Amino acid sequence: MDHNQSIRCTVDECKFHCNKDDYCTLESIEVVKHEPKAKTVECTDCGSFQTK
């Protein structure tokens, strides 16, 4: 599966994850926060995630 060399990702539960290695196959993704104010990396997520 072709992947986007600019988007590294280890979330292999996502249907857009490259199965061969740790990259995303989408052309672009949206990164979101799930806290009113993001203070740490844990406050951010990939908003383009979809389950397999």
Nearest to ligand SF4 of 38, 49 (CB atom)? 49
Judged by the rule CB under 6 A, the positions of this chain that interact with ligand SF4 are 7, 9, 11, 14, 16-17, 24, 26, 29, 46, 48-49
Residue 42 CB, nearest distance to ligand SF4 (Å)?
A: 15
Contacts of 33 (CB under 8 A, 6+ apart): 43, 44, 45
**Phi and psi, residue 43, nearest 5°:** -80, -5
Question: Per the structure block, which two tokens stand in for 14?
Answer: 């996502």
Residue 36 CB, nearest distance to ligand SF4 (Å)?
A: 22
